[in-house]
Amino acid sequence: MSSPSSFPEDGAAARGLPVVRLKPKAEARAIRHGFPWVYADELVMDRRTGNIPPGALAVLEDGERRALGLVTVNVKSKIVARMIDRDPAAVVDEAWFAARLTRAMALRARLFDAPFYRLVHAEADGLPGVVIDRFGDVAVVQPNAAWAEMLLDPLVAALRSVTGVTTVVKNGTGRARGLEGLAEETVVLCGGVDAPVPVPMNGAVYMADVTGGQKTGLFYDQRPNHAFAARLAKGARVLDVFTHVGGFALAALAGGAESAVAVDASAPALALAEAGAKASGVAERFSTRQGDAFAVLEALGSEGARFDLVICDPPAFAPAKPALEAGLRAYERIARLASPLVAPGGYLVLCSCSHAADLAAFRNASARGIGRGGRRAQLLHTGFAGADHPMLPQLAESGYLKSLFFRLD
């Protein structure tokens, strides 16, 4: 059998696969060492490559015509090729998907007692651009890359076979699909969903709207940070800003908080948070406030409100490099408005899910904001996404979530 390094071009042709090639000066070493992407300026963009349909498979070669592996190609995307298998002879079919999903599920089964978790975290689980969140018998698939859209049928068939889920929802929304030239749509592919799905997590119950909510309906990535905040929340008055469906607030109440106020701009999200508080048995200690987060923080400040634990978990203010400076200013402003609301000796939690803002930049912006808010702080803990959101070490973008826990004087 031919090794990946000696796989001939005519072998690809025999399977009907095109061959794409790195430019002579492009760095093949990074690909060999595990980096999963090839950018448009690194690939020979001749007429043959330009005619490859978005999402098609191809064999990637280096400048000396040595095969590097099997990639998916989308010449409409800045990421023109994504490594999908180091074996250029791999056949991507239902069995191939089943092997990847079985490996992913084995990790989650070791981590969690119940099937509520992120099952597939894109490149880190060997499925570039694919996110799958599991909610018991329901799975939500985000095919954020063109190849996954093309091969959605065998992916879903393997998903049902491996996991036993009865309902699969395709969530085809979000910025990533636009960058791939894909249309937005959300559709139930099999089974049915007629109500929010209850999700047990950190001693609370969350309500996930898997067909109409944000992303897949719930953010599993903050699970360990919810748990850490709950340790600080016993007997505390809690303010949870950008709460979505209850986020930190419900975990804090499950951890013994005296009360929690949840703030969000979305009335439907707050309704789900209230339903979660009722299901968790903490409704009498839970209240909501709808409105723009910045405006609510300013209003609470003018009212002289004080809380023992304040959490701000906003959407990505800096989803890409062009938005970085404006995003960092927004994070600084959040810290400046939130820090005066923290009672002396209380805690402030600031979060960022921005890919473009690395930990140091976010931490510096947060510290500036706290200082401008007239407070001094100790940084107690830095949290990241849970282990069901593994990182690909070669891809910094896969480690997007940062949560900073401060104690304020």
All residues at 6 or more sequence positions from 3 whose CB lies less than 8 Å from its CB, including other chains: none
Distance CA 47, CA 60 (A): 16
Three-class DSSP category at 185: strand
Q: What beta strand segments (E) does 109-231 contain? A: 116-121, 130-135, 138-143, 167-172, 185-190, 197-201, 204-208
Question: For residue 366, what is the DSSP state?
Answer: H
**Residues facing residue 288 across a β-bridge:** 262
Instruction: Tell me, yes or no, if 353 is annotated catalytic.
Output: yes
For 82, 247, 350, 406, the CA distances from 382, given in Å and listed in that order, are: 31, 18, 10, 9
All residues at 6 or more sequence positions from 194 whose CB lies less than 8 Å from its CB, including other chains: none
DSSP 275-297: HHHHHHT-GGGEEEEES-HHHHH
Which DSSP helix (H) or strand (E) runs through 139?
strand 138-143
Q: Are 60 and 43 in contact (CB under 8 A)?
A: no
Structure tokens at 249: 């607030």
Q: What beta strand segments (E) does 303-390 contain? A: 307-312, 342-352, 377-383
Selecting among 190, 312, 351, 353, the annotated active-site residue is 353
* Catalytic center residues: 353
